[in-house]
Structure 1
Amino acid sequence: MIALLHYPLQVTKAFRQSIAYLPSLLALGYFLVGLLAVVPHEGFISMPGWLDFVRFNDKDTLRTLLSTLIAGMISLVVFSFSMVMSVLSQAGGQFSHKLVFGLVTERHHQWVLGNYLGTILFILMLLMVPENGDSPGTWRSLAAYLGVAMVIHCLALFVYFIHKASQTVQVNSVVAGLHLATSRSLASLKHHQQSPRYMQVADTTPAAAPASCHRFEIRSRQTGFIQNANFAEIAEIAASIDGVIHLNFSPGDFTLADFPLLYVDAPDEPDRACADELLALLLYGEGESIEDIHVHGLTQLMEMAVKALSPGTNDPGTARLCINQLTDLLRRRLDFDPCNAMVDQHNRVRVTWPVESFESLIYRVFTPILHYGKDDVTIGLSLLKALKSLSLYAEGTERRLLQAYAERVIGALADAAHHRLDRDFISARLNGGEHRLDLPDQLGYRG
């Protein structure tokens, strides 16, 4: 049953995340209003006589007005989304290309598009359905005035759209949006894993199967990004076969067809139906979803910083802004350790999965920035400041990791500083600010 419902649920989620979701709903609402406007109303709705003054004298006047409105709306749509393509072209050259689709699918852009399309659909219905008699009735005349109000509303949305589109390509707005989305993803993960069924185990690498069990593998049947998995349902299936299921991937990983996704430790081999149900509980998606996986938000901020450091862009200010946001997100990540196992009602481990360690995150987001910004002293100092700030919230292994990485950054600064003034400037800032790292007072020089 789960396998049968998997495809419709995937299609529904893909539709809700697509650019067509809100425009489709809004267009449907306008269609229903247009249907109400063109159906015969005699015998159902009686119009008061004092509204006769709104009636048009002849059909040609009404059709001319509607034709003018729909022509203006089509021109407005063409102009608006020509501007969108210009904005996307600029964003693609300035930011990471992964952000371009996200800029298009923002909810306010979809809202404007839906109102545009719905207004055109409503006016088109008034034009296509003829009116009986020599002159339009009160009902049809009121519908025409409603069309005028819709067009005026779209003009107001056009002003709003220009404002939002201009903000979309501002660096501060893009970086703040990525930071907010990643913060929400981290908060959601932290809240979700407060359930007593989630726990941490020392190592998710499957050990040898117990003597009472055998190890079986279940291979994937499709290629793509696995955004998430229904751990609760997988745990129930593991309990039903009295076994433990080890996921051989982290959420967000790209896996190939015929890849060993799951290892099952159970007394008996799972049958085909059980394997189908387990595979159906894995949620595939296109691209990188920040809402599901916070690591993608960190990666996209890193890619923005690297793009800003490229010779074609040459914008170290944006890179420093991204480093500041990354520092805050990594500090939030230090507040908790993501769980990597789920237990059943009897506190027996039923599902395990690998999670990305803090060491891996630091290497993933800071190493590319250090590599591409190694010749810029301000970038090296920004990274060192970030590591010093993080050391205030780290303990044990994490602080030793930050210490080692700070030494690497200082080494890169020493390589980049060939002039005495540069070395003096850096040395004055090595131990500045609050931190809990063991840093030198003077910058060593590598001649």
Structure 2
Amino acid sequence: MRGQLFKLWDRIRSSFWFIPALMAAAAVALACLSVIIDEPITQWLALHFSWTFTGGAEGASAVLGVIAGSMITIGGVVFSMTLVTLSLASSQLGPRLLRSFMRDTTTQLVLGTFISTFLYCLIVLRTIRHGEDILFVPHLSVTLGVLLAVMSVGVFIYFIHHVSVSIQANEVAGRIGSKLIEGIDSLFPSKSGQEEPQPPVKLPDAAFFEAFDQEARPISACGDGYLQFIDAETLLALAIEEDLIIQLQQRPGNFVIDSCPLALVWPGHKVTDKLIGQIQLLFVLGRQRTSGQDIEFEVNQLVEIAVRALSPGINDPFTAITCVDHLGSALCRLISRDIPSPYLHDHQYQLRVITAVDTFPGIVAAAFDQIRQYSRSSAAVSIRLLEVIAVVAGFAQRAEDRATLLLHADMIARGASEGLPEPQDRLAVEQRYQKVKTSCREQA
């Protein structure tokens, strides 16, 4: 159930219709409520509040008609500007970033503001009565319509500013970098120093894993798509309830093909059709990757911006350097955190679930490999890559992490020495490479 709720919420967040639809419904309710309140107190309002609308039925109809027509026109302009922004972002920064722009709450609120103001004026307009015997002018409702129109003008001015800022490459990279750091804090939390030490857990020996591989039964996927979410808590509870050991074969972000194994269940003779259905529901598949449990999703977005900036058609090393800086900031936090254990246990410290976790070498490879490959002929980007690696190495606490960073520094320096024709550029790269080696030795 949690997985399906995650998928539904992700779709809602990535849609243009949800927040405008809520605001439109609120506008309809406000219009009905204001008219109900307005009718018994309309004369009292006219006598005691000079700032309220005091015109007749014709004037009220004209005001509301002008506001409604203006709002739907500006709403069309906002929608057109949004489509232009999406088109520009797709061509310059990458199509994978469209979801980030579609999730922009500001754009959704702006669209909702104009649509809700239009609906409010339209509903209030139909309550105005022009008959000779029956005359009703909702002064309070018309006044609220004017206030909404004034607010909408301010929202439109802010939207123009927001679009001009949000489309800038540095701003986009900064937002993605912040989300990447949030993901690291969520998936790799730092220790507070006040946590109670956990008793040592005895892991199964090699003989068990050999028997596990022979006797475990695979649970296959029932469709194609990217693995977006795994409900590990429910999976652990199910393993405890059924007295099973479950080993995951996929991790969030992997593309899963129909009938490929999602997990292995031991002992295999306990697997039933009901259990297969329960486990399959805990794996959420979709057409694209999401950032919920996939730490490499934001990494790949920054890499995509950097690689596009390094293409001959754009040739923008400054944007690539900005992306490298944000990747380095995230890796500095990641390298100081403990990678969660893939082994999940019950309260008696019995092994129940073996997960497929992200590793520091894998994340570093996702961050640096493609940028390194496309920046062989760019001295500025190669130098910045080595400078960032030297900074990250200063936060390293494990020897294997330093070895991973040094390996990537070796590849960057070797690629730059082959791709840079100028001796001075190669010398600058070599100097930064020596700083990486010194930083790794100092932390050893």
Tell me which interval the TM-score lies in, with the shorter structure as reference length. 0.7 to 0.9
**Deviations along 1:31-53, whole A, 9 cap, x unmatched?**
11012134486679994662486
Number of residue pairs matched by the alignment: 433
User: How many Å separate the matches in 2 of 1:188 and 1:198?
Assistant: 24
Task: Give the TM-score, by structure 1 length.
Answer: 0.87
| Aligned counterpart, 1:384 | 386
| Amino acid aligned to 2:15 | S
**Deviations along 1:365-416, whole A, 9 cap, x unmatched?**
2111111110111111112112222222232112122222212211112113
Instruction: Please show how residues 48-447 of structure 1 align to structure 2 within 5 Å.
Output: 50-51=47-48, 54=52, 56-131=54-129, 133-134=131-132, 137=136, 140-191=138-189, 207-210=209-212, 214-266=215-267, 268-336=269-337, 337-394=339-396, 395-432=398-435, 435-437=438-440
Q: 1:256 to 1:128 in 2, by over 3 A?
A: farther
| Amino acid aligned to 2:421 | H
Deviation at 1:154, TM superposition (A): 0.5
Query: Gapped runs of 5+ residues in structure 1?
Result: 440-447
User: How many Å separate the matches in 1 of 2:92 and 2:204?
Assistant: 42
User: How many Å separate the matches in 2 of 1:210 and 1:245?
Assistant: 10
SS of corresponding position for 1:268: helix
Q: 1:289 to 1:435 in 2, by over 3 A?
A: farther
Asked if structure 2 preserves the Cα contact closer than 8 Å seen for 1:200 and 1:340, the reply is: no
SS of corresponding position for 2:264: strand
User: How many Å separate the matches in 2 of 1:434 and 1:362?
Assistant: 17
Task: Give the TM-score, by structure 2 length.
Answer: 0.87
| Amino acid aligned to 2:82 | V
Query: Gapped runs of 5+ residues in structure 2?
Result: none
Residues 178-187 or 228-237, more deviating? 228-237
Q: Whose helix fraction is larger, Structure 1's or Structure 2's?
A: 2
User: How many Å separate the matches in 2 of 1:73 and 1:343?
Assistant: 58
| Amino acid aligned to 2:217 | F
| Amino acid aligned to 1:342 | L
Deviation at 1:158, TM superposition (A): 0.5
| Amino acid aligned to 1:262 | A
Deviation at 1:203, TM superposition (A): 11
Q: 1:31 to 1:339 in 2, by over 3 A?
A: farther
Residues 78-87 or 146-155, more deviating? 78-87
User: How many Å separate the matches in 2 of 1:230 and 1:257?
Assistant: 19
User: How many Å separate the matches in 1 of 2:234 and 2:13?
Assistant: 23
Asked if structure 2 preserves the Cα contact closer than 8 Å seen for 1:27 and 1:118, the reply is: yes
**Deviations along 1:121-144, whole A, 9 cap, x unmatched?**
111112234537547535x12101
Residues 78-87 or 374-383, more deviating? 78-87
SS of corresponding position for 2:251: coil
| Aligned counterpart, 1:27 | 24
User: How many Å separate the matches in 1 of 2:200 and 2:227?
Assistant: 20
